[in-house]
Amino acid sequence: MATQDDDDEDIDPVRMILPEEQEEGKSLTMLGDGVAKQQVQQHYIRSIESTLVIRQLPSEGLSFQLWPAATTLVNLLDNHRCHPTKSPLATTLTALSNGENDRKLRILELGSGTGLVGIAAAVTLGANVTVTDLPHVIPNLQFNVDANADVVAQKGGNVDVAPLRWGENEDAVVIGREFDLVLASDVVYHDHLFEPLIQTLRFLLNGGEGDEKKVLVMAHLRRWKKDSVFFKKAKKLFDVETLHVDPPKEGSRIGVVVYRFSGKS
């Protein structure tokens, strides 16, 4: 299996971030033309026999597009609902419920982008989810939440939208720590964001003296050797374990890896 220290020479980050091929369970519709072009993608969730609709805006930047690791998390959530005892998420989610099957999980998603992961968590787990990203991403994030509001409500979930800039204490304080679980996908990419992300994770997972420690489930597709710098820092502050590894896509040696981060006691 490839490791965090493998060379980067055969990895094309643009192709990895913006895959051209469409996977099973998705359909893509192009709307508009020129720079105003939108991509409306449909994601069929087998476990609830419903389709989620996500608008992407490629001309607006990477935050407005679906990244590969998000699809991995959505598939894990979907499969967990179908086969909970066989799921890589089973131990984590069972522990969070504390035997209270009727209590809704409270989930925070970091770097939500299009919002697909958070919306999928709401429908597959019947959870109360808060999706977050930078302020300029919020309008499209809200658009996608509104577009899926009916199916989310039908499945007993709820999705709120809030801005959250990593490393900004005032944003983190407003969001708070009243969550059972934090989700993230493809949030480790630019090295100048490593320290702000670590700072936000310390607040969310470790909290203050005597606070309950939290859990992050993070899907990551390594693109650059420098990603290992983030993981080295993270392992000093959090307990990190691997929950799941996707097989590599054609043309790559490395697949998406799903990690579990938990606050150190």
What is the average pLDDT across 182-189? 92
Angle at 261 between CA 132 and CA 263, to 5 degrees: 95
Q: pLDDT tens-digit profile of 97-120?
A: 765 666 799 999 999 999 999 999
CATH numbers and ranges of domains, the chain: 39-263 (3.40.50.150)
- State both tokens at 191: 């090295």
Q: pLDDT tens-digit profile of 251-264?
A: 777 889 999 999 87
Closest C-alpha to 157, from 118, 184, 185, 183:
118
Q: pLDDT tens-digit profile of 49-81?
A: 999 999 988 777 777 778 789 999 999 999 999
Identify whether the C-beta of residue 159 lies closer than 8 Å to the C-beta of residue 152: yes
Identify whether the C-beta of residue 260 lies closer than 8 Å to the C-beta of residue 240: yes
- State both tokens at 118: 């958070």
Q: Kindly report the average pLDDT of the chain as a whole number.
A: 84
Please tell me what DSSP assigns to residue 54. Answer: E
What is the Cα–Cα distance from 198 to 167, expressed in whole angstroms? 8
Continuous segment of H or E residues that includes residue 77: helix 68-82
What is the Cα–Cα distance from 201 to 64, expressed in whole angstroms? 23
Closest C-alpha to 43, from 14, 1, 72:
72
Please check the confidence at residue 159 and state whether its pLDDT lies above 70.
yes
Partners of 163 in the β-ladder: 133
CA torsion angle 61 22 17 239 (round to 10): 120
What is the end-to-end Cα distance of the chain in Å, rounded?
Answer: 31
pTM (predicted TM-score): 0.85
Distance of CA 23 to the CA centre of its chain: 18
What is the Cα–Cα distance from 221 to 227, expressed in whole angstroms? 10
Q: pLDDT tens-digit profile of 190-213?
A: 888 899 999 999 999 987 655 677
Q: Within 13 A of 139's CA, how many CA atoms are on the CB side?
A: 3
pLDDT of residue 27: 54
- State both tokens at 90: 């089973």
The beta strands (E) that lie in 88-247 are given as 106-110, 128-133, 158-163, 181-185, 215-220, 238-245
Closest C-alpha to 112, from 64, 153, 41, 76:
64
